[in-house]
Structure 1
């Protein structure tokens, strides 16, 4: 597979998960955000790891007043997609404008975010190392931040299967793997982030934001399961044989509308108390 195909596949995954992300985000955190931003004109939002722009499409129409979004990602192709698909109207009809910045998020500084009214991110924290997270937290300290959809290592499949727990444990180990010298936080990211902000004297409100994938999201459940099991097998190759029949059962359950999946996440609201 070439890089273009990789990017297209990842963009397709982001597109498939976007409705589930929108349904999962903790809507009760929006009111404190609105209060914090009241009177700010325009609101300047720095969206870290924007991907194809799903956070902007979700949040901008839920906030009043003129907004300017700055979308960060390493991938210029994803940024181009995000820019072209961004909404242009706020909750009260005010204009929403957008620009993109190709950047390494782990090297951002407070100066890069100096004009931010709000910093946002989605499904990002668990992909960072402790040092990288610390740098991002330091850059964000003193600003409001809404950091959504970080995995916490809790997955439930219904109906249950004896192999579920073993696969889940292997997947969590994969999330914490070391890649090119980087040891990822995976499901430990939320606790690490709260602790890092606390060291800066900043409080964090934490809310559950689980994916709930039933028959109405069978395509996403099947795609998620494929990646989940694949990562577990990569971490523990000895699982490949024992999980062959398991995979067949799960795909049959999904195709028949019998499979329900809960993938737990947490949303963090920073600096809005």
Structure 2
């Protein structure tokens, strides 16, 4: 989740969203992934996994519990505070009781090379892909192809948000937020909602078969805390992109947060997950 520059995500926010992330991630992509890993797991071989922008380890907790066989997880993040207790936050065993080892790695994941990933079975990340540039994505795809590893990238925003009940200003805030996701940040032009389409093309160019599947957050009355924080961040990003929205934002947020507190607000925040499998005929499929 944290790629370049200073730390972006507070542990409190990562903890707040972990349950919604776990519910949203695509279980459907695990079948093809298990098929790819079958020879290694059947022989008891070690699964070597690199978790890019690992944050507090939520992707590792979710995925390691769904994979069999001994596992070594390299947990990458630029924020040393997030890595400080990462081993204690991860499971000690895989799904079948095999041992699981955790290796923290403080580094800029946009600089990973094929040599860095030599011997890797799987590269994974959550809520990362849309924060990359086209050049960084191309480099990642090439490095993974050189390593011959599978790639599972979860929870990339796709630019679609549905809020009920609707509000006349929803579309304006959504459009401004999407523009903010595509902004140029410190000279880096972020992919934002275009990330999954760009990643599909990049991994295909490097010889992978690409599968994608929807992975929406579905937020309701039981998710009030997360919904409120998501709304605040969503509106703040929209206003940063389009300052003309600031005049309407206070009243808009009041209406939305009142409805949230009352348990009347529902939101679907759309994402897509992507699985790239090497050494297969190039092509894209959506499940």
TM-score class normalised by the smaller sequence = over 0.9
2:269 to 229, 238, 263: 263
User: Is 1:162 matched up with 2:178?
Assistant: no
2:77 to 73, 92, 105: 73
Superposed, which structure 2 residues align to 1:47-196 within 5 Å?
Answer: 47-141=51-145, 142-196=148-202
Q: Distance in 2 between matches of 1:13 and 1:195?
A: 31
What is the DSSP-based 3-state SS (H/G/I as helix, E as strand, rest coil) of the residue aligned with 1:111? coil
Is the contact between residue 57 and residue 89 of structure 2 (CA under 8 Å) also seen in structure 1?
yes
Deviation, 1:238, is 0.9
Counterpart of 1:37? 37
Counterpart of 1:242? 248
Counterpart of 1:228? 234
Is the contact between residue 88 and residue 95 of structure 1 (CA under 8 Å) also seen in structure 2?
yes
Q: Which moved more, 1:73-82 or 1:250-259?
A: 73-82
Deviation, 1:243, is 2.2
Gaps of 5+ in 1: 1-5
| CA-to-aligned-CA distance 1:211-250 (integer Å, 9 cap, x gap) | 0010011100000000000000111111011222111000
Q: Distance in 2 between matches of 1:239 and 1:8?
A: 24
Counterpart of 1:3? none
Runs ≥4 residues deviating over 3 A: 6-9
TM-score normalised per structure 2: 0.91
What is the DSSP-based 3-state SS (H/G/I as helix, E as strand, rest coil) of the residue aligned with 2:157? strand
Gaps of 5+ in 2: 1-5, 281-287
Q: Distance in 2 between matches of 1:88 and 1:77?
A: 21
What count of residue pairs does the alignment treat as equivalent?
268
TM-score normalised per structure 1: 0.95
CA RMSD of aligned residues (A): 1.4
Superposed, which structure 2 residues align to 1:185-224 within 5 Å?
Answer: 185-224=191-230
Change (3 A) 1:187 1:8: closer
Is the contact between residue 7 and residue 78 of structure 2 (CA under 8 Å) also seen in structure 1?
no
Q: Distance in 2 between matches of 1:9 and 1:185?
A: 19
Is the contact between residue 50 and residue 82 of structure 1 (CA under 8 Å) also seen in structure 2?
no
Counterpart of 1:28? 28
What is the DSSP-based 3-state SS (H/G/I as helix, E as strand, rest coil) of the residue aligned with 1:22? helix
Q: Distance in 1 between matches of 2:8 and 2:244?
A: 31
